[in-house]
Amino acid sequence: MNGHFVLAAALMGVVTCSLAATSAEQAAELGKSLTAFGAIQAGNAEGTIPPYEGGLRTIPAGFKPDSGFWVDPFKDEKPLMRINSTNMAEYAEQLSGGQKMLLEKYPEYYLDIYPSHRTAAYPQEVLDATVRNATTCHTLKDNLAVDPACRGGIPFPIPQNGNELIWNQQLRYKNGPGFTSTASSASWVVDSRGQVTKTAESATFEETPFYQVKQTDRDPMLYYRAWALDSYPARSAGQLIIIADYLDPTSKPRRAWSYTPGMRRIKLAPEFAYDTPVPNQGGVNLFDELQMFSGSQDRFDYKLVGRKEMYIPYNAYKFYFDCKQDEQFLAHHANPACERWELHRVWVVEATLKPGMRHAYSKRTYYLDEDTFGAGLYDAWDQGGLLYRALFQSGVQLYDKDIPYTVKNVSYDFNKGIWSILNDGLKGGYRISETPLSETDMSPETIVSKETQR
């Protein structure tokens, strides 16, 4: 077993195959050897991962509140080293299959490794609820559902199995108590010839009712809701997709709606799940791999492997806010000069397709940052065992809001030789509202009425 996995198991007392609830003895380590959200408090022995010291709350000079853009607090830092095709073997243990594939196929690609900063910071009420959840939060129905009593905090700060880790990813704190939105989030696809196409430009809305515990009109089983209204291309302008996810998808599966101006009616869209390609993302991503994972866990078995150190996209302020749109693209991959990679500990989850289940993939691996559960890496293999897709999800700490924001990502389809940049908010930025909308305002009919008539 890898030494990093052994260290993590020793610190956590986790037997990865166990389904037992977190013990009081384990939970007592929160705020001691573990952070309140379950990450290892200490840095690593080499000093290349620092200890956690509360995250980033200092606002750098030049930041304009409510502008939709966040100033890079690390803009003057220089890379510590560069990983490329000539030295990648030295760092193979800290690289994903997708990273290795890119480095092997494209000698011009590289990873610039910067100093690691553990910037994740959360509101105190979220930390308090997370500590509470350590001994009171439970999964239900063979790990496929979560008790709504867990609302308000990360559900499983000391996860006991792979399903709990994936629930942490789905229920991570990234929209605050209100919602996040964009005026024009763009999806870009680059074909095998290097041709860049903007497949969609959309106004977006995203909220996590799991953290809206004071909003009394919410269904307590509703944990996530989002919509996207296309303004580009012209043929899909006015098209609207709405998604709502629930804590027990076995009894209340994802509710999805679509609205097309030509039809002038809202219709249910149950196909917007699992391995259905996302239409306004050029088909590069599937619905159940939005932001690494989305939807129900019922088609795969999820194994918690442990924790290890990996180079992941992190503190990606340059990628989010400073690299101009045309600077982001090279022919076969994102411009590595726009990317920032840091060494962090991640949780590793392996997902294997259940016997008798249908899906485009046979196996998936998730590398989830221990501090945010959102930033990280994802690999997926086809039915023949070949690496099909890789996704790199980066994040930035919204230092004035105490939100670890993880949404923008790069996705590579190695089967078709195409790749994409998704959730690009360079045009208009990302907006944060701390006040939820009422449930009346969030009905599909109201959304269509208000948004399509603007």
How does pLDDT run across 200-248, given as a tens digit for each residue? 999 999 999 999 999 999 999 999 999 999 999 998 899 999 999 999 9
* pLDDT attached to residue 452: 63
CA atoms within 13 A on the CB side of 101: 22
How does pLDDT run across 28-43, given as a tens digit for each residue? 999 999 999 999 999 9
How does pLDDT run across 68-85, given as a tens digit for each residue? 999 999 999 999 999 999
Which region, left, alpha or beta, applies to residue 86 given φ > 0 means left and ψ of -120 to 50 means alpha? alpha
Neighbours of 99 (CB within 10 A): 25
Residue 7 confidence (pLDDT) above 60: no
Task: For domain 81-117+160-451, give its CATH number from 3.60.110.10, 3.40.50.300, 2.50.20.10, 3.40.50.2000.
Answer: 2.50.20.10
- For range 301-312, the mean pLDDT: 98
* pLDDT attached to residue 261: 86
Model confidence pTM above 0.85: yes
**Domain residue extents for the chain:** 81-117+160-451
* pLDDT attached to residue 96: 98
- Rounded Cα distance between 412 and 387, Å, is 10
Between residues 262 and 255, the one the model is more confident about: 255
Residue 316 confidence (pLDDT) above 70: yes
pLDDT averaged over every residue in the chain? 93
* pLDDT attached to residue 148: 97
* pLDDT attached to residue 292: 96
Would you say 280 and 312 are in contact if contact means Cβ atoms under 8 Å apart? no
CB-based burial label for 63 (10 Å; 0-12, 13-18, 19+): middle
The sign of the dihedral angle between the CA atoms of 211, 217, 221, 223 is negative
Residue 295 confidence (pLDDT) above 70: yes
Query: Could you write out the three-class secondary structure of the chain?
Result: CCHHHHHHHHHHCCCCCCCCCCCHHHHCCECCCECCCCCECCCCCCCCCCCCCCCCCCCCCCCCCCCCCCCCCCCCCCCCEEECCCCHHHHHHHCCHHHHHHHHHCCCCCEEECCCCCCCCCCHHHHHHHHHHHHHCCEECCCCEECHHHCCCCCCCCCCCHHHHHHHHHCCCCCCCCEEEEEEEEEEEECCCCCEEEEEEEEEEEECHHHCCCCCCCCCCEEEEEEEEEEECHHHCCCEEEEEEECCCCCCCCEEEEEECCCCEEEECCCCCCCCECHHHCCCCEHHHHHHCCCCCCCEEEEEEEEEEEEEECCCHHHHHHCCHHHCECCCCECHHHCCEEEEEEEEEEEEECCCCCCCCCEEEEEEECCCCCCEEEEEECCCCCEEEEEEEEEEEECCCCEEEEEEEEEEECCCCEEEEEEECCCCCEEEECCCCCCHHHCHHHHHHHHCCC
Residue 102 confidence (pLDDT) above 60: yes
- For range 445-454, the mean pLDDT: 77
Residue 454 confidence (pLDDT) above 90: no
Residue 2 confidence (pLDDT) above 60: no
Task: Report the percent of the chain where pLDDT is more than 70.
Answer: 95
- For range 303-332, the mean pLDDT: 97
CA dihedral 65, 437, 281, 271 (to 10 degrees): 160
Residue 433 confidence (pLDDT) above 80: yes
Q: Model confidence at 444, in pLDDT bands (50, 70, 90)?
A: confident
The sign of the dihedral angle between the CA atoms of 149, 153, 157, 160 is positive
- For range 135-146, the mean pLDDT: 97
Residue 451 confidence (pLDDT) above 80: no
CA atoms within 13 A on the CB side of 267: 11
- For range 124-144, the mean pLDDT: 97
* pLDDT attached to residue 6: 37
Distance of CA 78 to the CA centre of its chain: 26
CB-based burial label for 445 (10 Å; 0-12, 13-18, 19+): exposed
Residue 13 confidence (pLDDT) above 60: no
CB-based burial label for 422 (10 Å; 0-12, 13-18, 19+): buried
The count of residues in the chain is 454
How does pLDDT run across 152-205, given as a tens digit for each residue? 999 999 999 999 999 999 999 999 999 999 999 999 999 999 999 999 999 999
Residue 280 confidence (pLDDT) above 80: no
Cα dist from 255 to 128, 218, 252, whole Å: 31, 15, 8
Task: Report the percent of the chain where pLDDT is more than 90.
Answer: 88
Between residues 10 and 53, the one the model is more confident about: 53
Residue 1 confidence (pLDDT) above 60: no
Residue 380 confidence (pLDDT) above 50: yes
Q: Model confidence at 249, in pLDDT bands (50, 70, 90)?
A: very high
CB-based burial label for 93 (10 Å; 0-12, 13-18, 19+): exposed
